[in-house]
Amino acid sequence: MPLDYRLFQSERPGSQDIAWCPGCGNFGIRNVLMHALAELNIIPQKVVIISGIGQAAKMPHYIKVHGYHTLHGRSIPIATAVKVTNPELTVIAEGGDGDMYAEGGNHLLHGIRRNPDITVLIHDNQIYGLTKGQASPTTVIGMKTPTQPWGVFEEPMNPIALAIALDASFVARTFIGFMKETKEIIKQAIQHRGFAIVDIFQPCVSFNKLNTYEWYREHTYFMKDHDPYDREEALKRALEKDPLPLGVFYINEKPTFEELVVAYKKDKRPLWQRKPKLDKIREMLELKRRL
């Protein structure tokens, strides 16, 4: 019997203002995430959401789980540290395409390399929504913005192809307009053991007038008969441009960061359960003082 998704509501319905524009895709992502956690029977006390800065990064404020609202682009290293400290937790890093691919781009690369068992949900509206609509790494060529009044001329980033090229553990893309499919992909990502990336197309109704709900429905499709364990085929699908494929592109099962870290080789207890070895700490502090 699945949990009631309302366990994850931060307050009684209607008792808290949510600082997203009416019609924002973030509402849908919040909804499907709560339902996904409930259907997986993961209690709120066992979930941590780490976020950076941006509209998407407000998610920890609006879901009743443990949360940490950190610096711009820094959610992945914090999420990695939380997971290593307590591997029993379900850890989710959440942010927008600017937060994750621009300010947090370097952390994304090393998160893929380390492969901690965390889920990375990226709200990809192809614009900076919090700071009033300048181009993000995924904004299409030609779009005019407040900071690019003559149109964007930089090649947009392809995060799916990048993640597959780096041999990420789990790579998927979806569109929040397809809520049922998005929920199932998020559930699969959470259940996957390793670094799971889910790029979620979601409209910014205030600052992106091109990539609307209608645009995504007309320019995307779900892959059928695709083998996510075939890396070469996954990369070919990732390079398709219009229509853009959705679904699970690539799965690569490999050891996680927590499984390989030295601290767990002999002692499987979470770090937070262990008593600090004060003599070792004093020894390290003395060594540091001498240096």
- What does the domain layout of the chain look like in residue ranges? 5-290
Task: Decide if pLDDT at 13 tops 60.
Answer: no
Nearest to 188 by CA among 281, 280, 257, 121: 121
Q: Which residue has the higher pLDDT, 101 or 14?
A: 101
The average pLDDT across 258-269 equals 85
pLDDT at 15 over 70: no
Is the per-residue pLDDT at 271 higher than 60? yes
Q: State whether residue 95 is helix, strand or coil.
A: strand
Nearest to 199 by CA among 230, 161, 229, 227: 161
- At residue 196, the 3 state secondary structure works out as strand
Burial 140-164 (b: 16+ CB within 10 A, else e): eeebebeebeeebeeebbebbbbbb
The confidence band for 234, taking pLDDT boundaries of 50, 70 and 90, is very high
Q: Which two tokens stand for residue 232?
A: 């070469």
pLDDT in tens, 138-195: 989 988 888 888 988 999 999 999 999 999 999 999 999 999 999 999 999 999 999 9
In angstroms, the CA 172 to CA 186 distance is 9
The span from the CA of 142 to the CA of 255, in Å, is: 42
Q: Which CATH number fits domain 5-290: 3.40.50.1110, 3.40.50.970, 3.30.365.10, 3.50.50.60?
A: 3.40.50.970
Share above pLDDT 70 across residues of the chain, in percent, rounded to a whole number: 98
pLDDT by residue (tens digit) across 31-85?
999 999 999 999 999 999 999 999 999 999 999 999 999 999 999 999 999 999 9
Cα(55)–Cα(39) distance, integer angstroms: 26
pLDDT at 186: 98
Which residues sit opposite 198 in a β-bridge? 121, 172
Q: Is the pLDDT of residue 12 over 70?
A: no
Query: pTM, whole model, 2 decimals?
Result: 0.91
Describe the chain by its helix, strand, coil percentages, rounded to 5: 40, 15, 45
Helix (H, G, I), strand (E, B) or coil at 25: helix
Closest among 116, 87, 99 to 59, alpha carbons compared: 99
